[in-house]
Amino acid sequence: MPSSLSITAATAEPELLDLPWHLPLEQWPSDRIAALPKGLSRHTVRFAHLADHVIAIKETQLELAKREYEMLRKLEKLDVPCVEPFAIISNRHDSEGSPLPAVLITRHLKFSLPYRAMWSQGLRAQTASRLVDALALLLVRLHLAGFFWGDVSLSNTLFRRDAGRFAAYLVDAETGQLYEGRLSNGQRENDLEIARVNIAGELMDLLASGKASDIDPAVISDGIVEKYRGLWKELTAVDVFDASETWRISRRVQRLNELGFDIEELSMVRDETGHTVRIQPKVVDAGHHARRLLLLTGLDVEENQARRLLNDIDQYRLNNSRPGADEEVMAHEWLSTVYEPVVSAIPSEMTGKLEPAEIFHEVLEHRWYMSESKGEDVSLTDAVRSYVADILTSRRDEAAYLGTTAITENITLPEPVPTGVIQVLDDDEEEGDWRDKV
Ligand SMILES: Nc1ncnc2c1ncn2[C@@H]1O[C@H](COP(=O)(O)OP(=O)(O)O)[C@@H](O)[C@H]1O
Ligand SMILES: [Mg+2]
């Protein structure tokens, strides 16, 4: 007799036991399966309904499942955007008693899209470079946290809309390794080269299959290197300036804030003569605008959405200023008289199409275009009405979008390159402060 099913889960969900673990994932009945768009994968990955949410199930070896589960937990603790690990199930057997692979379960990242599902009429150049920009930022954040990915690619990333741009989340941590502190120069360069080659390949594949038009894979994949280097320099470089120019410190902080980061720790050194000062951010934390908005309003949204909403709050404060009303009071007033009426004007059958903060951003854009074409200010109420009728109605549902077979099919990829081989560049690590040389 086979031994009993073994479940290790972050939270106890008894419904997990009701899923047909005695069947290979490929053979699960369709009523269990959530037909959502999915990226390319090596393993069998399928989505299933569990109580009121959706889980992603990956069939793999137990050791790999355990490793990835632990890695995702650590990344979550480090506050890096990634999918949430949920459970590992092992000791599966079919009804004849033959063993079945273990599975790693993560929570389906709501409103996320794999890059292949991003544009039904084909991926456009501007969208492709925005995806790559988001991936560059994710890679910088992972590297700052000491994570070497080893398999950076569009397929291993999920994207959420973020006020006209994208926010990237890590979905596949199988090849990753976490180090104490920051990564070496060589490790970072390695990941970047892997990213460049993988992205070029993925985009060439899209072009060849007719799912993208008008994109240059080499230009876009080189774009990740450029974007990454620019960001890394802004976040880590040493600034040297005359001791009389202390305003440069606040300018550096401000520049980082604009990029969406807060400085948690800054090193400041004055040379022996007292003439020059060197500053370098030691610990930076992403989510500058998102944190501020959360504090002011309780809304938990992506970084660019937060930036957009904060701008709207500022505008509201300007238009409605009165003595004694501080920022917090005005932010709450904005929430109940501006933001919430827009969100609640969306018919309930359309709330799965986009996240509320993204709808709000699109309504603001829509109002701007309406006002421009009419040559006069359009009220928010009129803008919402027109947005729902003319735009939102024709959008597909992105919370639970039913993917086409072209998107949900499983395509077998080659085995990953062992990370030990990828790390060849490690040896040329330089001593001293290399960060400002990037
Ligand atoms: N938690 C999740 N939420 C949304 N999509 C997911 C999730 N987990 C996996 N996927 C989808 O499944 C695809 C394959 O998952 P991945 O972990 O990369 O498998 P593999 O290790 O076989 O490459 C991803 O590209 C993504 O589209
Ligand atoms: Mg993968």
Determine which helix (DSSP H) or strand (DSSP E) holds 225, and give its type and residue range. Answer: helix 217-236
Residue 368 — φ and ψ, nearest 5°?
-60, -45
Report the nearest atom of ligand 1 relative to the CA of 106. 1
Report the nearest atom of ligand 1 relative to the CA of 173. 17
Specify the number of domains making up the chain: 4
d(CA 75, CA 170): 9
Determine the pLDDT at residue 400.
53
Written as one string, the DSSP assignment of 331-342 is HHHHIIIIIHHH
Domain-ending residue, one of 111, 130, 156: 111
Determine the pLDDT at residue 292.
95
Same domain for 164 and 178, yes or no, is: yes
Among the bound ligands, name the one nearest to the CA of residue 38: 1
Report the nearest atom of ligand 1 relative to the CA of 44. 22
d(CA 290, CA 241): 31
Neighbours of 214 (CB within 10 A): 11
Q: Please report, for the domain that includes residue 223, its CATH number.
A: 1.10.510.10
N-term to C-term CA, the chain: 60
Same domain for 106 and 61, yes or no, is: yes
Determine the pLDDT at residue 181.
78
Same domain for 79 and 159, yes or no, is: no
Pairing of strands 85-90, 6-9: antiparallel
The residues placing their C-beta within 5 Å of ligand 2, an ion, are: 41, 156, 172
Q: For residue 399, tell me if it sits in a domain.
A: no
The residues facing 263 across adjacent strands are 284
What residue numbers bound the domain in which 157 lies? Answer: 113-236+415-437
Same domain for 157 and 55, yes or no, is: no
Domain-ending residue, one of 79, 111, 143: 111
- Here the tokens at position 13 are 């969900």
Residue nearest to atom 1 of ligand 1 (CA): 108
Q: For residue 151, tell me if it sits in a domain.
A: yes
Same domain for 341 and 383, yes or no, is: yes
Q: For residue 401, tell me if it sits in a domain.
A: no
Domain-ending residue, one of 111, 133, 158: 111
Determine the pLDDT at residue 411.
34
Determine the pLDDT at residue 120.
54
Determine the pLDDT at residue 121.
54
Helices within 237-287 (DSSP H only): 247-258
Residue nearest to atom 4 of ligand 1 (CA): 108
Same domain for 88 and 159, yes or no, is: no
Q: For residue 156, tell me if it sits in a domain.
A: yes
Same domain for 45 and 106, yes or no, is: yes
Determine the pLDDT at residue 283.
86
Residue nearest to atom 3 of ligand 1 (CA): 108
Buried b (16+ CB within 10 A) or exposed e, 362-381: bbbbbbeebeeeeeeebebe
Determine the pLDDT at residue 209.
86
Pairing of strands 92-93, 53-60: unpaired
- CA of 298 relative to ligand 2 center, distance in Å: 34
- Here the tokens at position 175 are 């090849």
Residue nearest to atom 23 of ligand 1 (CA): 41
- CA of 171 relative to ligand 1 center, distance in Å: 6
Q: For residue 408, tell me if it sits in a domain.
A: no
Same domain for 48 and 18, yes or no, is: yes
Q: For residue 352, tell me if it sits in a domain.
A: yes
Q: For residue 1, tell me if it sits in a domain.
A: no
- CA of 250 relative to ligand 1 center, distance in Å: 41
Q: For residue 216, tell me if it sits in a domain.
A: yes
The one-letter code for the residue type at 103 is V
What residues flank ligand 1, with Cβ below 6 Å? 38-39, 41-43, 45, 56, 58, 83, 106-109, 112, 114, 155-156, 158, 171-172, 174
Same domain for 365 and 387, yes or no, is: yes
Same domain for 232 and 117, yes or no, is: yes
Report the nearest atom of ligand 1 relative to the CA of 172. 17
d(CA 165, CA 147): 24
Average pLDDT of each block of 10 consecutive residues along the chain (438 residues)?
Answer: 79 89 96 89 95 94 97 96 97 95 96 80 80 96 97 96 95 96 93 97 90 88 96 94 90 93 92 91 92 96 97 94 88 96 94 93 96 94 95 77 36 34 25 27
Same domain for 147 and 171, yes or no, is: yes
- Here the tokens at position 403 are 């993917």
d(CA 189, CA 127): 25
Same domain for 364 and 300, yes or no, is: yes
